[in-house]
Chains A and B, each alone.
Chain A
Amino acid sequence: QSVLTQPPSVSGAPGQRVTITCTGSSSNTGAGYDVHWYQQLPGTAPKLLIYGKNYRPSGVPDRFSGSKSGTSASLAITGLRAEDEGDYFCQSFDVSLSGYVFGSGTRVTVL
């Protein structure tokens, strides 16, 4: 059972916008800790997609954006493309656990 809750799957047609939610609690996302997002394409290691308030590492297209409000965070993908298919994980720090926590992961499918 993951500390951060994500929907198991989301889907959309090419060019559409999809959103993935990540819900935590007062000991992690609600405690002021940033939520970071990782993309895992099939057969590869996870890759940092969004960090901090809404920063993208070099090479990540601006079709990806992050936001956070209270205990929840969201990852938005606009202009959905076939190569976006994969798993997406949110991550934060939990002060009660004195450690890091991941979301359960969301599978993105491009129809």
Chain B
Amino acid sequence: QVHLVESGGGVVQPGTSLRLSCVTSGFDFSNFAMHWVRQGPGGGLEWLAVTSFDGRMKSYAGSVRGRFTISRDNSENTLYLQMDSLRGEDTALYYCVRDRGFNWNDAIGFDYWGQGTLVTVAS
């Protein structure tokens, strides 16, 4: 069974940093591209970042480019999201998501989602 378990969320002040982790199991992590997607208080989904199967290729949404960094450790089956310069509008539930393909731009759908970790940015 595929499992994606996020952690690292919490309440932080604007301007600070946070690192999210996603521990995976039940599949060969090194064969799949991985994403971070968030869901804000309004309920909409926002794609944030993708990394290719080997971590060499990455892409980011404009709203987080330059502030967030996606990375992966294939030896530990773990995906990360380093979030710097956090803002109030970054408050959301953050999901770790598996791509059906292995390249960052295969565009063939997201087939497994974690349960999410909540990040609240407030002073």
* Chain A residues proximal to chain B, CB less than 8 Å: 2, 33-34, 36, 38, 45-48, 51-52, 57, 87, 89, 91-93, 97-102, 104-105
Q: Closest A-chain residue to B96, C-beta based?
A: A45
Of B44, B45, B113, the contact of A47 (CB 8 Å cutoff): B113
A-B contact pairs, 20 of them (CB 8 A): A34-B109, A36-B110, A38-B110, A45-B95, A45-B114, A45-B116, A46-B45, A46-B95, A46-B113, A48-B110, A48-B112, A51-B109, A51-B111, A89-B45, A92-B107, A93-B105, A93-B107, A102-B47, A104-B44, A105-B44
* Closest CB in chain A relative to B4 CB, distance in Å: 9
Q: Known A93-B105, A104-B44; judge A99-B60 contact (CB<8 A).
A: yes
The prevalent SS among residues of A at the interface is strand
A residues near B111, Cβ cutoff 8 Å: 48, 51, 57
B residues near A2, Cβ cutoff 8 Å: 44
Question: Does B43 make an interface contact (CB < 8 A)?
Answer: yes
Q: Closest A-chain residue to B106, C-beta based?
A: A93
* Closest CB in chain B relative to A109 CB, distance in Å: 15
